[in-house]
Structure 1
């Protein structure tokens, strides 16, 4: 499956000149060392050259474009060295303003186990459109990096959709757990599981649903299933968090409580018109998370 992360051998890294601390390259260096992975680093150049003086010939405009690419390529080569990326690392500077489309096309002919990029957030915009499009690319799992490195005392958290009876969702749950196990082991960090039981606050407030009973029943039903997915490795009972409420509230809350550095989520890719949304749950959760985020698609 294109979504598995069991063996990270080849990573596509998207370099961002605007990120002064080069968080994506820092993470790439760490993961290359952890998994003995090879890296391909790509940078993007684009300027609207159509606004240049009309007296300029096509050749002049092409020359201007090549100058910009050359200057950015020089910066990229230096960034690869400065961030101590392995000698096997390859890099290229691409002329394109649409990063997500380029990545999708590139991944048709080149297989990657992971795509790594700095996630862009501000107080007003949770992610830039490029990040949303990348998360929906379906070519490989995507890791959006918020911090330069994870601290030892932090944790890794996976979110599961245990209520779904669909085989694709169940398989995706297993892929998310496997990715969490691998990254937790590589970074010597504890692994936690979060599952939100989607009970409407209205139903709870009106006493139509007994929250405590529902959570107790969910725990007895799903904890053995979650433990079975962990196999012989096991997971401490206190690291399984089953809470009532919608995911966009529960997931960020649990992530904050346990000090998660990374949250790994599965998201079923959409096609056609529905492809404009990653999946309501994932999008609403991502909007509130302050951690690094990894999205795995089936």
Structure 2
């Protein structure tokens, strides 16, 4: 069972469907979580009012917040009634939306952020905004980025793991990713698949060492990852047919498999503490996520602390 008890659903004024809020409600119906519909706002024209008095500037800011609060209440009321859930509302003035979201999480102990992504109809792909990237990089709690679609039953959840290096940190993160995948699969009545990308033969070794046999090396690496994946899958009761070992870069392997099995959700670790070289860090994670045309849940290793300072 998922442990999410406080969900921050980020509201997008341009989203008619409010997919983040609807997805949060789906989760809350299972976990009995409390939901806050959160709208960070900032009016750039405020920067042009420096000639006004402090009171006039404050009145302007208050008027904008009051107007957006009324809009949010009208938006949420029918959704609240249809879902049967009480949804808290919060509108916050901040010139950096991502920072206001993370600070809200830190100050009020939320354990999941749900945010909608933008679908580019021309490219048939999900477009992630700079706000999305900041949140994924710096959030201390899992971030669920959703697109505009229903979560069908009997779908597939893909957990990206790194089973090639067997140390405590890797094992702990792999276990966390897989347990989370199983919890979401239970919510969706779905099937969990595991994927692990392993490196190909280093070209420089094959060139510099004449007696080096690249095929023997490649087979050895594949066997190592295959056996490690088998142990991990057995540990979590994942059938062998749902365990995938593919040679290549994570940013190629993970999206390709997600597309092949038509995954509705991909779960991966996005930031590692020092020494966790196999975790998807920085640009690698972003390259993976940028190629996925499905919901993405980005989680952090235990003990991760956000670099955002919330005074």
Bin for the TM-score computed over the shorter chain: 0.7 to 0.9
Q: Residue 94 of structure 1 corresponds to which residue in structure 2?
A: 92
Q: Residue 154 of structure 1 corresponds to which residue in structure 2?
A: 155
1:257-296 Cα deviation digits (max 9, x unpaired)? 111010000123469xxxxx95232111111111110011
Q: Residue 48 of structure 2 corresponds to which residue in structure 1?
A: 51
Deviation at 1:170, TM superposition (A): 1.4
Q: Is the 8 A contact 1:197 1:246 kept in 2?
A: yes
SS at match of 2:233: helix
- So what's the TM-score if we normalise by structure 2? 0.82
Q: Is the 8 A contact 1:40 1:90 kept in 2?
A: yes
Partner Cα separation in structure 1 for residue 29 and residue 74 of structure 2: 20
Q: Residue 238 of structure 2 corresponds to which residue in structure 1?
A: 235
SS at match of 2:128: coil
Q: Residue 252 of structure 2 corresponds to which residue in structure 1?
A: 249
Q: How many residues align?
A: 285
Q: Residue 177 of structure 1 corresponds to which residue in structure 2?
A: 178
Provide the alpha-carbon RMSD of the alignment: 2.7
> Structure 1 segments of 4 or more deviating over 6 A?
203-207
Q: Residue 106 of structure 1 corresponds to which residue in structure 2?
A: 104
Partner Cα separation in structure 1 for residue 148 and residue 216 of structure 2: 40
Q: 1:219 to 1:104 in 2, by over 3 A?
A: closer
Does 2:269 match 1:263? no
Any gaps of 5 or more consecutive residues in structure 1? Answer: 272-276
Q: Is the 8 A contact 2:136 2:143 kept in 1?
A: yes
SS at match of 1:260: coil
Does 2:295 match 1:292? yes
Q: Is the 8 A contact 2:158 2:267 kept in 1?
A: yes
Partner Cα separation in structure 2 for residue 153 and residue 96 of structure 1: 41
Q: 1:200 to 1:135 in 2, by over 3 A?
A: farther
Q: Is the 8 A contact 2:154 2:188 kept in 1?
A: no
Q: Is the 8 A contact 1:174 1:229 kept in 2?
A: no
Q: Residue 305 of structure 2 corresponds to which residue in structure 1?
A: none
Q: Is the 8 A contact 1:16 1:43 kept in 2?
A: yes
SS at match of 1:221: helix
Partner Cα separation in structure 2 for residue 204 and residue 286 of structure 1: 31
> 1:62-101, aligned counterparts within 5 Å?
62-84=58-80, 85-101=83-99
SS at match of 1:151: coil
- So what's the TM-score if we normalise by structure 1? 0.85
Deviation at 1:6, TM superposition (A): 4.1
Deviation at 1:187, TM superposition (A): 1.0
Partner Cα separation in structure 2 for residue 99 and residue 285 of structure 1: 24
